[in-house]
Structure 1
Amino acid sequence: MAKAYDHLFKLLLIGDSGVGKTCLIIRFAEDNFNSTYISTIGIDFKIRTVEIEGKRIKLQVWDTAGQERFKTITTAYYRGAMGIILVYDITDEKSFENIQNWMKSIKENASAGVERLLLGNKCDMEAKRKVQREQAERVSQAGLLWPNALLLPFIQLSPSYLIPYSWPESTESDFLRRVPNPV
């Protein structure tokens, strides 16, 4: 029986508890939005197949718990990830500051050269914004999150919108193109 996809990618969402990782993954995989979710316990995943440049890409998107008590469980999933999306909440400055800790965790637990993407979430809450877009862009483009982490791609969005708030047209295919060793 032929595979229903050309490539399989395992992507991991990481970030503090409450930044909206579960809302993002459910919007992406099921095109559904609910502003109230309970915290993820351990890890969960959703699958979605997309077509990019004529290829069917099966994405396993893993949703990790952001609480410290689950860190030993969730870091075990870093190793097999082909791409890691670091999520922070634009209304929570501490979640942005903690991206540095998440980058350290990637360095310690993920495969060398894993692709990373910085994602500012909850852009529909502009009136409560604490982290300015320019601040995140400066950090991502200057490699300030981790030495030698130059040009970490950065986007902002909100799962409450049907389309991303600020998603450059080429970001998805560029990110997936750089992901190593597709199956």
Structure 2
Amino acid sequence: MELEIFDDDLDAEGMMKILVIGGVNNGKTSIISKACYNNMESEKTINTIGVGFHTKKIQMDSKQIRMCFWDFSGQDRFLCLTRCYFNEANAAIVVTDASRPNSLELALNWKRELDNNFEYKIPTFLFANKYDLIKDEPTYTEQQLNQITRDNGFDKWAYTSAKDGHGIEDAIEELVRQTMKESYHHVRRLRHASMRDSFKLSSGSPIMPPTVLLGAGGGGHGVASEKCQLPKEKKRCCS
């Protein structure tokens, strides 16, 4: 199903914070640019410094959802900065460069960093990007990627290309669907726990992932500051 895109002046019913992480020069920003603005990948994309921020409204299952992509620099020197922006994320995309097999280990390091900073599981997809460079001779077989996905706690994987758009729309749609589904089940679990008065137990409240936020507006793109706070107009979106 093709995603229906909305203008920025329309309010979205739900907000979804999606982390986009991985090593340097894997194409994270180019993937977001293709998804949000349908821009072709530049031959010389400027590396993200710190954290970039981009949004896109879509229509899915009669609901308007604003996807909020948090584009993290792959440089190690920004790792301490990026950790504080992981809070309240709904989903994550880990990007590796399919044309450089050694970049996979860096992507898996980011996945471990993600897991270490969450006490609950969020839907996480592996994007093997730059498929246009290796489509005639794929770096990994489907069996290998299935095994990597299982061994490292990813929900799914996809070959993607920011240059020609291969796989990006379908993979993001699937990620949004899965996130909405898990958010729905999360709400049901909370209601069930409330009925059992579980929040009053001495052991404390159960740790649950955040639900997709409802009723907030805003949009556009920018760069988050180094003080772990969004620009004023962005703060209500996903923080």
Common fold: TM-score over 0.5: yes
Q: Residue 92 of structure 1 contacts residue 130 of structure 1 at CA under 8 Å; is this kept in 2?
A: no
CA distances 1:153-183 after superposition (whole Å, capped 9, x unpaired) = 1111111114527946972453332453011
CA distance 1:172–1:104, change in 2 (3 Å): closer
Hey, what does 2:146 align to over in structure 1?
137
* Distance in 2 separating the partners of 1:28 and 1:157: 11
Kept after mapping to 2: 8 A contact 1:78/1:111: no
Corresponding residue number in structure 2 for 1:90:
98
The 3 A distance-change label for structure 1 pair 54 and 119 is: same
Partner of 2:163: 160
What letter corresponds to residue 159 of structure 2 in structure 1? Answer: Q
In structure 2, which of residues 104, 110, 128 is the aligned counterpart of residue 102 of structure 1? 110
Q: TM-score with structure 1 length normalisation?
A: 0.85
**Matched residue of 1:93: which SS?**
coil
Q: Kindly provide the CA deviation profile for residues 54-107 of structure 1, in whole angstroms up to 9, marking residues without a partner as x.
A: 110001101100010110111111122110111000011121122321121012
CA distance 1:126–1:57, change in 2 (3 Å) = same
Distance 2:135 2:175 in 1: 28
Once residues 97 and 119 of structure 2 are traced to their aligned partners in structure 1, the CA distance between those partners, rounded to angstroms, is: 26
| Higher mean C-alpha displacement, 69-78 vs 161-170 | 161-170
Q: Is the aligned partner of 1:54 residue 2:62?
A: yes
Distance (whole Å) between structure 2 residues aligned to residue 29 and residue 165 of structure 1 = 11
Paired letter, 2:133: M
Is contact 1:91–1:128 with CA below 8 Å preserved after alignment? no
Identity %: 23
Matches within 5 A, 1:66-77: 66-77=74-85
Change (3 A) 1:127 1:161: closer
Q: Is the 8 A contact 1:156 1:167 kept in 2?
A: no
Which structure is richer in relative contact order (CA contacts within 8 A, separation 6 or more)?
Answer: 2
Range 25-34 or range 163-172, more displaced: 163-172
SS of alignment partner, residue 13 of structure 1: strand
Q: Does 1:5 align with 2:8?
A: no
Q: How many residues align?
A: 176
